[in-house]
Amino acid sequence: MLKTTPVKDQGNSPLCWVYAMLATIETEHLMQGDSVNLSPDYVARMWLTEQARFSYLSKGKHTISMRGIPSMTLGLLEQYGLEPYDAYHNFDGVNYRVLARKAMQIARASTSLAILDTHMADILDHDIGYLPRTLFMLGTEYTPLEFAHSVCLPGEYEALTSFSHHPFNQKFVLETPDNQLHDSFMNVPLDSMMNRIEQSLRNGHPVCWEGDISEPGFNTAAGCATLDKESMPITQQQRQRAFETFQTTDDHCMELCGIAHDIKGNKYFIAKNSWGKTRPFSGFMYLSFNYVRAKTIAVYLPKVQ
């Protein structure tokens, strides 16, 4: 199993896409001997600010939502930078659903971007916390952008998916509700995607996983996710059919950080969740290879392989 930072808790927020992508970046650095622990609250603040501005300029036609996908996290840190976890974290927890509603109200009531930005900064300072004036790491002062680029360069991660309604080996905009910024994904055959995931982990690199957790076999109490018929490998056609009939939906994101097997030799991916250190494996889960074949929406891998 790869090294990870401590399991975090996203609370009642829908910010798994932030937690999972940051956890993946953290592990990538830990495996290189560089310790980093990153702030989900900072990314969430930047996303709320950006959405409030868009809602204002669209005359309220854009509904502010805290849902998203991991590639959006990469885009936000590339644009707005990043803060360490200890430098910007609300230990009491933030109700981001309520905060999103407040942002909508501010956007509707504002009469200029300057007024909007002032009111948004006030409410975010109050509900999340004041942004640090300076950022020091190892005796050096960084801006948030400099810090972000020190832990994740633009283009460092590749987004893969596997669906047959688009040509393979080409990029397309994945048609899921949470893909709010219309990000593109490289489309590869199912076996290729599974091989890339496994080889990434075996080579010491984590994978950010985005997929469906609505199946009965996704058992948080048992700490594992399996399909009813584990002995029958899911085909590309079965996977596509489940996606087109909405049996496979875009529900959750986690970091894949290892590979394990049970006493029968069945292989599992070890996933780091963001629901706190609860359930039988203190915040980690085991996803069967077949579950990942069937229920993956997309994965995000370092390009170093």
Among the listed residues 152, 98, 106, 149, the one whose alpha carbon sits nearest the alpha carbon of residue 127: 98
- pLDDT (average), residues 145-155: 94
d(CA 22, CA 184): 20
d(CA 72, CA 74): 5
Query: Backbone phi, then psi, for 107, in 5-degree steps?
Result: -60, -40
- pLDDT (average), residues 173-185: 97
Going by pLDDT thresholds of 50, 70 and 90, the confidence category of residue 139 is confident
The pLDDT of residue 211: 98
Reply yes or no on whether the pLDDT at 140 is more than 90: no
Q: Which residue segments constitute the domains of the chain, with CATH numbers given?
A: 16-151 (3.90.70.10), 157-302 (3.90.70.10)
Residues 238-279: tens digit of each pLDDT: 999 999 999 999 999 999 999 999 999 999 999 999 999 988
Residues 45-85: tens digit of each pLDDT: 999 999 999 999 998 888 999 999 999 999 999 999 999 99
Residue 201 near residue 190, CB atoms below 8 Å: no
Q: What is the pTM of this model?
A: 0.96
Going by pLDDT thresholds of 50, 70 and 90, the confidence category of residue 204 is very high
